[in-house]
Amino acid sequence: MYLKDSAVTIVLIGKCTWARRYVDWEIQASLRQGETIKPNGLFGIELPSYNNNIYPERLNMNLLQNDEQEDCYARVISYPKRKDTLKNAIEDAFQARTKRRNIIVNPRNRYKYNRHCE
C-alpha cells in the first residue's frame, strides 16, 4: 500500500477509528521515510462521535507520551469550528515533515485484523 502525491495525512477520529486496521496501514504508509521518501505530515481531528479517549495506536505513538518529552511528530485537534484552525493544523503538519521527522515512531508491524469496538 503506497500513498502518492500527498503531503499531509489527516486522521478523522471517531468512536472506533482506533480499531480499524486500514487506518493503521495508512498512518504507517504516511510515516515511511528514506533517502528519497519524505514522510507525510500527520494530525488527527476528533469528530463529534469521538468519546472514548482512544486514538489509533500508531498515531498515539507519535504524540507526547510524558512531561519529559520536548516535542512529538503528530498533533490532534478538536473538530475545528474555524477555517484558520484547520489551515494552521495542516501547515504545522506540513512543516513537521522536515522539522520533526527525526522523532517519528513507526514500527514495521501492522494490524492484521480490525480490533473489536463496541
What digits encode the pLDDT tens for the residues 5-46?
Answer: 789 999 999 999 999 999 999 999 999 998 888 999 999 999
117 within some domain: no
114 within some domain: no
14 within some domain: yes
Domain count, the chain: 1
Write out the chain in H/E/C secondary structure: CCCCCCCEEEEEECCCHHHCHHHHHHHHHHHCCCCCCCCCEEEEEECCCCCCCCCCHHHHHCCCCCCCCCCCCCEEEECCCCHHHHHHHHHHHHHHHHHCHHHCCCCCCCCCCCCCCC
Distance of alpha carbon 98 from alpha carbon 38, whole angstroms: 8
**Predicted confidence (pLDDT) at residue 113 exceeds the cutoff of 90:** no
93 within some domain: yes
What digits encode the pLDDT tens for the residues 42-95?
Answer: 999 999 999 877 999 999 999 988 777 889 999 999 999 999 999 999 999 999
46 within some domain: yes
Domain hosting residue 33, numbered range: 8-103
109 within some domain: no
User: What is the pTM for the complete model shown?
Assistant: 0.88
2 within some domain: no
Which one is predicted more confidently, 57 or 117? 57
50 within some domain: yes
